[in-house]
Amino acid sequence: MGLVSAIADALSSEEGRGNVVRYECRDCGTAFDRAANHMMRVRCPDCGSANLRATDGE
Ligand SMILES: [Zn+2]
């Protein structure tokens, strides 16, 4: 039981890291990651532009 739940925890934390969205700034080309739950107000960390493209792991 302990081993199985340890594996399940490892798998779910692996999933948790998948909740990051990769964005690319259309203005300056900077690529950066943001947690998916912050996606409503994402700005480029470099130039502050909101003109972003979600590249989603590509
Ligand atoms: Zn930018």
What residue ranges do the domains of the chain occupy?
20-58
What per-residue confidence (pLDDT) applies to 39? 52
CA 19 / ligand 1 centre spacing (Å): 22
Q: Average pLDDT, stretch 9-33? A: 79
- For residue 57, the CA-to-ligand 1 centroid distance in Å is 19
- 10 pLDDT exceeds 90? no
pLDDT, position 1: 66
CB 24 within 8 Å of CB 55: yes
- Confidence (pTM): 0.60
**pLDDT on residue 2:** 79
Query: 29 C-alpha to center of ligand 1: Å?
Result: 6
User: How confident is the model over 35-41, as a mean pLDDT?
Assistant: 70
Strands (E), 1-58: 20-25, 31-35, 52-54
**Beta carbons within 8 Å of 19's beta carbon, 6+ residues apart:** 35, 36, 37
C-alpha 9/C-alpha 47 separation (Å) is: 38
- Pairwise CA distance, residues 47 & 27, whole Å: 8
Residue 58 has pLDDT above 60, yes or no: no
